[in-house]
Homo-oligomer: A and B are copies of this chain.
Amino acid sequence: MNDRTDLPEDLLARRVATMRSSAVRDLLHDARRPGMLSLAGGLPAPDLFDVEGLRAAADAALAQAPREALQYGTTEGDTALRALLAAGLRARGAAVPDDAPLVTTGSQQALDLVARALLEPGDGVVVERPGYLAALQVFALTEARCVGVGGDAQGLCVDDLPERLAQGRQAPAGRQDRASASRADGRLKLAYVVTNFANPTGATLSLARRIALLEWAVRNRVFVLEDDPYGGLRVEGEHLPPLLALAERVPGAADWCGYVSSLSKILAPGLRIGYAVLPEWLRGPVVRTKQALDLHTSTLTQAIAARYLAGGRLDARMPAMREAYRERRDALCEALAAAFGDTLRVSRPDGGMFVWARFTDGTDTTRLLPVARDAGMIFVPGEAFYDAAPDRATLRLSFATATPAQLAEAVSRLVSAHRALRERAPAPDGASAASEQGDASPPDNPTARVPEANASAARQAGASAPASAAAIRDACVETALEAWEDAGMRGLCAEGRWEVAIGAIRSLDLHAIAPRD
């Protein structure tokens, strides 16, 4: 009975056995420490919550229709709320009927529902690299194969998306045959893209690329899921239409795109109100899946949201909210520029909550974080947003939750931390190399860099001479091993891990291996 195979944890399914906790969620605990200035969260500004409006809406819901607000409800969601969400989409150019939105428990659940409706183990899903970590986690739970595609200031590099014919694969077999298909036959089924002020890069997908993305989806028979949690928070420039609206311009595209968003960023995350608009063929399976997963989203918070939105207070408050976010973005960007100059390259997003930045002096932000925490501020190391081979010089800073004064103070603490780290451990050999590479790769378009551990191994192997073939080979091996491990940790199957590992070798920056002194 003491046989090792009889441990209870041997019951765990492969998909969770080695799953990691989200770095961002874990930082929430730190964020609650007294005096801590957190630029780590994806939290909206609590001082901008319309507490009085929500309190009135809650009271009205419980006073006027308590049984509906407290009883079980339909899986699709509150009828009034769905109509209000549909009206919001129509105002942005998407001709959706009142009953199109399906209410979900946050937009996070919508991602899970779509993933479970589509993805078999080994199926491919395109994700942005770097991208939203919790989406990667959801896809990993289905044991899908994530295919990272990079982006730049115009968003996802649509030209880099894989083409089915170029993959050397035949069209997949019909449904009857697919049941017996092995993982190796997994089809590229889904492309997941945050179109406005993406997390973490802040980039917005350009209009031309939106059209090109839809054309690619139709051509390759891949479903594109647009995630738009931040779209309402544009602080500069013109709104771009969602893919749902643009699908009218691309023949056949209506069947190949869907939209998810939420009230978390513009109203309150605590309500857990997200929504999804999906083509007919996908709606039924998603609704039936949600039935099984949580029956429905809270009828009380749906009733509160519906009453609140119907009252028109949100529309009235949005200009002031956007102005507050604009001030905060400017405060953070200016403080960072003044404090770090060329040492830190910083994106300037047109909205949302996040600034993406990259140290040009080789600073490893994962090592910087504990020092910054001690100094009284936290951020998210960029590493958290990569599926493999992370650029460790990057970091994400949220300007949403702190006031301009707090942002300035947080940057001042980050400066202290950065200085302390440099003093504690002198700049690594790779510093100037990182700096040079930084010039070649602006923060909006980071290319894979050799992980520092590998670089130092390579440096050891190469001694003070130029990097030898053996050192490069060793670095390749180490990079592949690390990527394989990483991919395994994310629950990918052997196939997926292999692809990630090969990809990591292919994107290994050989210049960074060459010793510099």
Binding site for B on A (CB under 8 A): 3-17, 19-22, 25, 28-29, 41-44, 46, 49, 51, 54-55, 58-59, 62-63, 66-67, 69-75, 105-106, 108-109, 112, 116-120, 123, 134, 137-138, 140-142, 171-175, 178-179, 187, 189-190, 221, 223, 255-256, 264, 268-272, 279, 281-282, 285, 287-289, 291-301, 303-304, 494
- The listed residue (B5, B17, B46) touching A71 by CB distance below 8 A is B46
| Residues of B with C-beta under 8 A to A6 | 171, 221
What's the minimum C-beta distance from A48 to chain B, rounded to whole angstroms? Answer: 10
Q: What is the CB-to-nearest-CB distance from A26 to chain B, in angstroms, rounded to a whole number?
A: 9
10 closest Cβ pairs, A-B complex: A270-B299, A70-B268, A137-B292, A51-B66, A46-B67, A16-B285, A55-B62, A70-B270, A9-B281, A272-B298
Residues on the B chain within 8 Å of A140, using CB = 292
What's the Cα separation between A105 and B285 when bound, in Å? 20
B59 touches A5 (CB 8 A): no
Report Cα–Cα, A171/B3, bound state, in Å.
Answer: 9
Please name the residue on chain B nearest to A287 by beta carbon: B21
Write out the residue numbers on chain B whose beta carbons fall within 8 Å of the beta carbon of A116: 13, 15-16, 141
What residue of chain B has the Cβ atom nearest to residue A115's Cβ? Answer: B13
A11 to B296 CA separation, bound complex (whole angstroms):
25
Instruction: Report B-chain residues with C-beta under 8 Å of the C-beta of A72.
Output: 28, 41-43, 264, 269-270
Q: Residues of B contacting A10 with CB < 8 Å?
A: 172, 174-175, 178
Question: Do A172 and B269 have beta carbons less than 8 Å apart?
Answer: no
Residue contact A112 to B71, C-beta cutoff 8 Å: no
Q: Could you tell me if A108 and B19 are in contact, using CB atoms closer than 8 angstroms?
A: no
Residues in B with CB closer than 8 Å to A297 are 105, 272
Is B62's CB under 8 angstroms from A51's CB?
A: yes
Is B21 a contact of A288 with CB atoms below 8 Å? yes
A to B CB contacts below 8 Å, 30 in the list = A3-B171, A5-B171, A5-B172, A7-B281, A8-B223, A11-B189, A11-B223, A12-B175, A12-B285, A13-B118, A25-B295, A49-B70, A51-B66, A55-B62, A55-B66, A69-B270, A70-B269, A70-B271, A71-B270, A72-B269, A72-B270, A105-B294, A105-B297, A112-B294, A138-B292, A272-B296, A293-B293, A294-B294, A298-B298, A300-B301
Among B19, B288, B295, the residue within 8 A (CB) of A106 is B295
CB distance from A169 to the nearest CB of B (A): 12
Residues of B within 8 A of A138 (CB): 292-293
Given contacts A116-B141, A171-B3, A281-B8, contact A179 B59 (CB under 8 A): no
A108 neighbours in B (Cβ, 8 Å): 292-295
Beta-carbon nearest neighbor of A401 in chain B: B71
Q: Is the CB of B75 within 8 A of A13?
A: no
Contact of A134 among B105, B173, B291 (CB under 8 A): B291
| Residues of B with C-beta under 8 A to A299 | 269-270, 272
Chain B nearest CB, measured from A336 CB (Å): 25
Q: Contacts A105-B297, A116-B141, A272-B299 known; list 15 others, CB within 8 Å.
A: A10-B175, A11-B223, A16-B116, A19-B289, A49-B67, A51-B66, A58-B58, A59-B59, A70-B269, A105-B272, A108-B295, A137-B292, A141-B289, A272-B298, A294-B294
Q: Is the CB of B71 within 8 A of A43?
A: yes
- B residues in contact with A171, CB < 8 Å: 3, 5-6
Query: Which of A25, A59, A223, A255 has the largest count of B CB atoms less than 10 A from its CB?
Result: A25
**Chain B residues within an 8 Å CB radius of A282:** 8-9, 12
Residues on the B chain within 8 Å of A59, using CB: 55, 58-59
A293 surroundings in chain B (CB, below 8 A): 108-109, 112, 138, 141, 293
CB pair B74 A28 closer than 8 Å: yes
Report A273 CB to chain B, min CB distance, Å: 9
Known A-B contacts A4-B174, A19-B289, A292-B134; A300 and B270 likewise in contact (beta carbons under 8 Å): yes
A47, chain B: closest CB distance, angstroms = 8
Closest to A9 in B: B281
Closest to A57 in B: B62
Q: For residue A109, which residues in chain B have a CB less than 8 angstroms away from its CB?
A: 293-294
Q: A28-B72, A54-B70, A294-B272 are in contact. Are A120 and B13 (CB under 8 A)?
A: yes
